[in-house]
Amino acid sequence: MYDLIVIGGGASGLMAAGRAAERGKCVLLLEKNKRLGEKLAISGGGRCNITHAELDQRILLRAYGKAEQFLYSIFSQFGVEDTFSFFESRGLPLVVQARKRAFPSTEKAGDVVAVLKRYVRDGKVEVRTNSPVTQIHAAKDMINGISSGTKTYHATDYIFATGGVSHPETGSTGDGLHWLAKLGHTVLPPTPSIVPVAVKEEWSKKLAGVSLSFMKITFFVDGKKAFSETGKILFTHFGLSGPLILNSAHKVADLLEGGLVTATVDVYPHTDLGALEIRIVAVFDKNKNKALKNCIKEFVPDGTTRGLAELFAESLDITKKVHSVSKEERKQVVHLLKALPLTITGLMGFDRAVVADGGVALDEVDMRTMRSKKVRNLYMTGDLLHVSRPSGGFSLQLCWSSGYVAGEHAGA
C-alpha cells in the first residue's frame, strides 16, 4: 500500500512524484515507456524550452487564453521564478534567449530529465518503467487500485500525469483522457493547436530546411484578408513551421472551417515596394548581360534561390537576359517578393503537434490543489487539462506548476 501512485513519468509526473516524496510520502511512479521523460527529452528540438521568462504573472497567464482565470492559484504556488530556482539549485543554470524563451544553459533536454530523475531518486520514489496501466479500479467517487499487467497496486491517492496526444511515439496516446472520461469527467476532444501547416505549392517545398527571420505572413479566406503576423518561418517538405506558424495554427484552423485559405509571405516586410524596386534595379544594372535566373540569388534571402526561381518561372521567362526584362516584369518580381503566394491545405496532425489542446474541463478540477471534483482521491496534471497555450515554454511551465501543486496536496 502506497501513499500515492503517480501514473506517467513525464515532466509533470516527475515533478509531482518528487514533490510528494519530498513531503515524506511513500510514492510509486509507473511509466509505460522503458525510460522516464521520453517526450521531455525531445522538447524544443532537444534543447528544452523549459519556461517562458515572463515574471509578471498577469502578462504570463494571458497567453493561456480562456484558462487564465483558473491558473492564478497554481502559478502563485509554483511559478516561473520557482522553476528557475528549482533547476538552478540542482546544478542546472537557465539562460533566457530571444522572446523570453528560457533554456538549460547546456541546451540539452537530457540534462533537464537528469535533474528530475535525481529529484525522484533522492526522494526514494519507487519507479517502475515498462509498466503500462491496463485498468483503473474505481467505485463511486474513489479509485481503489490500478492494474499494470498481472499486478495490481493500491494507494491512498493517485495522480494522473499521462500527457495528452501530441507526439504519440513517446507514449502520449491519450490513455489518461480515456480513463478520466470513464470516471465521469467531461473530456473535451483534443485538436492539434500548435502544429505546422501544410501547403499545396511545390516551389515552397524546394525551400525545405530554410529558416527566415522577421517574415510577414498574411492569411486570407476566399480572398478576404483574415490576419497578419510577423516572425520566424521555417519552410519544410510539407509546408511551413517555425514559431510564427506554430503560434498561428489555432487561428488557421478556424479559417479552414470558413473557406479556401491562402497566404502570402512578405520576405521584405520592412522595405516598401518602391525601395525594393530600387534595390532590384541596382542588381539588374550590375548584371545586364546575365540571364535572370543567374542573378536571382542577389536579391532573394539566403537559401531561397532554387525555390523562388521555380516560382518566378511560373509567370516569367527566367532564361532571358536581364537587359531584356521589361519594367512590368521587373515589377512582377517585386510584387512576388512582397507576397509569395501559398495555398493552405490543412494542419498537420497529432504526430507533429507541439501541444494538443482538449482535456478535462477546468471547472471539474479544484485548481488550487489539482484534485478532481468527481473522484475524491484523484489529481491530474499538465496536458490532461483543457488549456490552450502558445509555444515558447508555456506548456512546460504548466507541467511544472500543476505537477508541483498536485504533489504538494496529494495526501495532505
Place of cell 517538405: 237
> In this structure, which topology does domain 2-191+356-409 adopt according to CATH?
FAD/NAD(P)-binding domain (3.50.50)
Pair 262, 225: CB distance under 8 Å: no
* pLDDT tens-place values along the chain, 412 residues long: 999 999 999 999 999 999 999 999 999 999 999 999 988 888 776 889 899 999 999 999 998 888 899 999 999 999 999 999 999 999 999 999 877 889 999 999 999 999 999 999 999 999 999 999 999 999 989 999 999 999 999 999 999 999 764 544 444 456 888 899 999 999 987 666 678 999 999 999 999 999 998 899 999 988 999 999 999 999 999 999 988 898 888 788 778 867 789 999 999 999 999 999 999 999 999 998 999 999 999 999 999 999 999 999 999 999 999 899 899 999 999 999 999 999 999 888 766 665 556 789 999 999 999 999 999 999 999 889 998 777 678 889 999 999 999 999 997 7
Pair 371, 411: CB distance under 8 Å: no
Q: Give the span between the Cα atoms of 327 and 286, in whole angstroms.
A: 16
189-to-71, 78, 375 alpha-carbon distances in Å: 21, 28, 21
| Tens of pLDDT, residues 197-209 | 999 999 999 999 9
Q: Give the span between the Cα atoms of 78 and 384, in whole angstroms.
A: 18
Cell of 123: 526522494
pLDDT number for residue 412: 78
Q: Give the span between the Cα atoms of 20 and 407, in whole angstroms.
A: 4
> What letter represents residue 11's amino acid?
A
32-to-38, 157, 296 alpha-carbon distances in Å: 10, 19, 53
Pair 199, 344: CB distance under 8 Å: yes
Nearest alpha carbon to residue 328 among 343, 316, 345: 316
Q: Give the span between the Cα atoms of 299 and 23, in whole angstroms.
A: 62
Pair 232, 213: CB distance under 8 Å: yes
| Tens of pLDDT, residues 228-273 | 999 999 999 999 998 889 888 878 877 886 778 999 999 999 999 9
Q: Return the number of other C-beta atoms located less than 10 Å from residue 371's C-beta.
A: 22
Domain range summary for the chain, segments of one domain joined by +? 2-191+356-409, 196-348
